[in-house]
Structure 1
Amino acid sequence: MRALGAHNELHSEHGARRDEHPGRSRNPVVKVRDLAWLEFEKSDLVRTEAFARAFGLQVTLRTPEELHLRGTDSTTPCVLVRRGGGSRFAGVAFAAADEIDVLRLADVTGAPTRPLPEAIGGLSVDLVDPSGLPVRVVAGTHELATLPAQQPLTVNAGHDTRRVNATQRPLRVPARVQRLGHVVLQSTKYLQSLNWYLDNLGMIVSDFLYFPGQRDRGPTMSFVRCDRGTTPADHHTLAMALGPANRYVHSAYQVSDLDALAAGGEYLAARGYFRSWGIGRHIQGSQIFDYWRDPDGFMVEHFTDGDMFDDTLEPGWAPFTATGLAQWGPPATKDFLGTSPRSARHEALSMISALRDDNEFDVHRLVGLLKVAVS
């Protein structure tokens, strides 16, 4: 099938230059189909559940030690939370096409397989990416029944009149999350980690970003999708960025439309939850976004109307700038960019520590990162 260039105005003004990263592996071990779930440890499961319900997730399992959360789509739970002494991101799971792929990954990597708990079912191979993040690849899991979904409103768009003798009155209720869409991670070993996901999980890059003035040094962020062949996949299921620490940045959950997102945001705000940034529309991925902080400080996103690409589209290339993060909406906040006063000391310590270690985050990359927030 003919590859579509990124320079053809589909999603980026620029394509790759000669000898730049191709954005995919020639011979990946397997090709994962989607995100399965994210794993967290948190000290207060009651507080976690209260926010999850306000955010629009549903509970499938609740014990004194564990909480499973889901959207309305027919999938596995999309967030697994275990009780812990503190709060931390504990790993990510991807869904393989079948258990043969799980066994193939185990054979190639030498990693162990294990049956998953009965509440989830299926088989898992437990890996660790170059950043040290636990990564599971799973198959054969139980499929949850579809729940009633929040229906998009019937919209009169321009002269296309579809609603007559009827009004719009969206309720200020939690936006019903449909599914987990993507996770964003930061890594001090960005390129090594990116190649690991491409080579082992068969993912492909939709867009590369590079620090201002540093394109010749290679990309520093990538939006990575699953390779489903001719079946379209989310513009990114995983996004990775070079930075001074190995950490979770945010995760994103699809809702039905803009009204669900906006009214759901009003519901969260009325209950005192903190909006990090929004509402706006991104450039890479095109989705309408609204970012929130949960009570433990983890960033989560409601999104709708995201791009879907098949396997023919080649990566786009663009500078990594604060103003380049959205087509419209308020400017990116200091909280979203990690430059707020409350995070400044932690960020400074992370930068000092990263510069002392053997990784991809050197002084030149530090200078480039500092330019992002003011570009």
Structure 2
Amino acid sequence: MSLTPVARPHVTTAHQDLHSEQGALRGEHPGRSLNPVIKVADLAWLEFEKPDLDRAEVFARDFGFGVTARTRGELWLRGTFAGSPCMVIRRGRTSRFIGPVFRAAERADLERLARATGSAVRDADVPGGGQVVDLFDPSGFPVRVVWCGEELPALPEQRPLTLNFGIEQRRTNVTQRPPREPSRIQRLGHVVLETPVFARALNWYLDMLGMIVSDFLFLDGQRERGPTMAFIRCDRGSVAVDHHTLAMHLGPGTGYVHSAYQVTDLDAIAAGGEYLAERGYRRSWGIGRHIQGSQLFDYWRDPDRFMLEHFADGDLFSCDVEPGWAPMSAGGLAQWGPPATRDFLGTDPSPARLREVAQALRGDNELDPARLLALLKAMTS
């Protein structure tokens, strides 16, 4: 295992007209590990606890999930694609995010990971069965790596609309009337986490799980201190995968920021958003198109104030693309769309947020007053 990631010689080095105007400077983080323990294949599902599973199920169906299993104590949610579930919500005393679960590329990876970390392989509590290794990342998040014995079958899709483009006219004598219905979730795309130990957490995911960085963001005037956000993808060699499966950024808190779920197209995002708005749910930010990852996006709050994203048309990268580098700013989050809201950016000065800041400045982490002020400036610029 390599504790210090090093560059590989075959990665794509050109950035002009690629995905970022800037690449790494000499000596900067290369965004990958030379000899990771394993290489996970994908994000399998996310785990939450909530006290009211009935309310959680109502929102889940309105947001576009299917329900694959429901017991007195658990709610398993899925998309239309074949594979693993997207999310499990277990009954608990409070609403909280537990952690991410990644899918191993092969069963033997669990044994390899268990040997390297002194953990054990145990049976997984997942519909259809499987096995899992339980870990903790440097932020304290429970992270599980799973090998499932059975995949969920595919479900009927929400069909994309036939579009006319200039002189390319594929639809004649037919109107467009996208139905006002939930956006049908296809799959889980990514999760975003905040951590005050960003560099340690980043290296752990690269070294342990073999993930690689697509884009780094850095604070204005502090690039020499290293990145403060990373968009991280799985390494499946020549197979192109989502621009990011995991994203992390430096911050005073340790916790969930949002998770993202793929839907068919822009009309599915927009019509599904109208459906959610009519039922009284709160949009956090959208609709727009991101820069890092290029996704069309729309962000919503569930009844427990967790943020979830509908997305479509995201970038896909193979292992050959090296990280891009860009300054961190609120204005740099989207190519078009409304300005990022304070709710999305987490800049509302709530009592809980102020407590996180005070604790972080006293803790053993990567935050200091200069770093914190630069973060605040970035999120208001």
Matched, 1:366 2:381: no
Matched, 1:121 2:129: yes
Question: Which among 105, 112, 120 is matched to residue 97 of structure 1?
Answer: 105
Please give the secondary structure, in 2, of the residue aligned with 1:200: helix
Question: Which among 201, 226, 241 is matched to residue 193 of structure 1?
Answer: 201
Match of 2:323 in 1: 315
Stretches of structure 2 lacking an aligned partner (at least 5 in a row): 1-8
Q: CA deviation at 1:68?
A: 0.2
Question: Which among 283, 289, 294 is matched to residue 286 of structure 1?
Answer: 294
CA separation in 1, counterparts of 2:356 and 2:149? 38
2:338 maps to a residue whose letter is P
Q: CA deviation at 1:252?
A: 0.0
**Cα RMSD, aligned residues only:** 1.0
Please give the per-residue CA displacement for 1:190-232, whole angstroms capped at 9, x wherever unaligned.
Answer: 1100000000100000000011221111100000000010000
Match of 1:56 in 2: 64
Please give the secondary structure, in 1, of the residue aligned with 2:264: coil
Matched, 1:42 2:34: no
Matched, 1:30 2:4: no
* Equivalence map 1:5-20=2 (5 Å): 5=13, 7-20=15-28
Question: Which among 206, 210, 222 is matched to residue 202 of structure 1?
Answer: 210
Q: Is residue 128–residue 148 contact of structure 2 (8 Å, CA) maintained in 1?
A: no
Please give the per-residue CA displacement for 1:31-75, whole angstroms capped at 9, x wherever unaligned.
Answer: 000000000000100110000000000001111111000000001
CA separation in 1, counterparts of 2:365 and 2:84? 35
1:366 maps to a residue whose letter is L
Match of 2:139 in 1: 131
Please give the secondary structure, in 2, of the residue aligned with 1:336: helix
Match of 1:272 in 2: 280
Q: Percent identity?
A: 63
Question: Which among 329, 334, 339 is matched to residue 342 of structure 2?
Answer: 334
Match of 1:153 in 2: 161
After TM superposition, the structure 1 stretch with the greater mean CA deviation from structure 2, 210-219 or 298-307, is 210-219
Matched, 1:253 2:246: no
Please give the per-residue CA displacement for 1:326-357, whole angstroms capped at 9, x wherever unaligned.
Answer: 000000001001123xx532221111110011
Q: Is residue 185–residue 263 contact of structure 2 (8 Å, CA) maintained in 1?
A: yes
2:24 maps to a residue whose letter is A
Q: CA deviation at 1:15?
A: 0.3
Match of 1:239 in 2: 247
Please give the secondary structure, in 1, of the residue aligned with 2:297: strand
Q: Is residue 338–residue 344 contact of structure 1 (8 Å, CA) maintained in 2?
A: no
Question: Which among 296, 299, 302 is matched to residue 304 of structure 2?
Answer: 296
Q: CA deviation at 1:250?
A: 0.2
Please give the secondary structure, in 2, of the residue aligned with 1:52: helix
Q: CA deviation at 1:112?
A: 1.7
Please give the secondary structure, in 2, of the residue aligned with 1:102: helix
CA separation in 1, counterparts of 2:334 and 2:175? 31
After TM superposition, the structure 1 stretch with the greater mean CA deviation from structure 2, 361-370 or 114-123, is 114-123
Match of 1:168 in 2: 176
1:235 maps to a residue whose letter is H
TM norm structure 2: 0.96
Q: How many residues align?
A: 373
CA separation in 1, counterparts of 2:326 and 2:350? 27
Question: Which among 73, 80, 92 is matched to residue 65 of structure 1?
Answer: 73
After the TM superposition, which segments of 4 or more aligned residues of structure 1 sit over 3 Å from their partners?
none
1:270 maps to a residue whose letter is E
1:278 maps to a residue whose letter is G
